[in-house]
Amino acid sequence: MLEPEHDPSVIDLGIFVEQPPEVAWRALTQPESLARWLSPTIGFEPVVGTTFIVQVEVPDKPAAEMACQILAADEPNQLTYSWTDLRGDPPRRWLIDYQLHPHGRGTRLMWHMSGFDIEDKYQRFARNGIERSWDRTLLPKLAAEINALGASD
């Protein structure tokens, strides 16, 4: 059987944490947790329709503000939001989706980011940099935050 062809406009990553989905959900939805592993937020609530800002540090530049909106919030299974970089001309908009699956004594957390136009040189470059950043830095920081929350229970 042939595997379906990977869509290069989508980033698919995953991690396993030895905590239940409810703990992972808290790391994704509590503003103080988000600030520790991702970035500070303004106005974040895990409620469909909520708009919020993520303040992203950019090396050697002023912080970027990503305009976001919650599109799905199914506690503790799925959180999806738009992620719009208003600095682009036109602004660039992507979707970020977290899916939490119970797995043995822990959680399999799947992270997807979609909406890249790989025909656009800037977006292709951004996609590759974002994938490296999430794989090497942000998902390990998220796993550490989930484990710290679980240890404090």
Judge whether residue 61 has pLDDT over 80.
no
pLDDT band for position 4 (50/70/90)? low
CA distance 126 to 140: 20
pLDDT band for position 8 (50/70/90)? confident
Residue the block writes with tokens 């977006």: 123
| Crossing angle of helices 21-29 and 139-152, rounded to 10° | 120
Mean of per-residue pLDDT scores for the chain: 93
Residue the block writes with tokens 């609530």: 45
3-state secondary structure at position 105: coil
In the prediction, which pLDDT does 57 show? 81
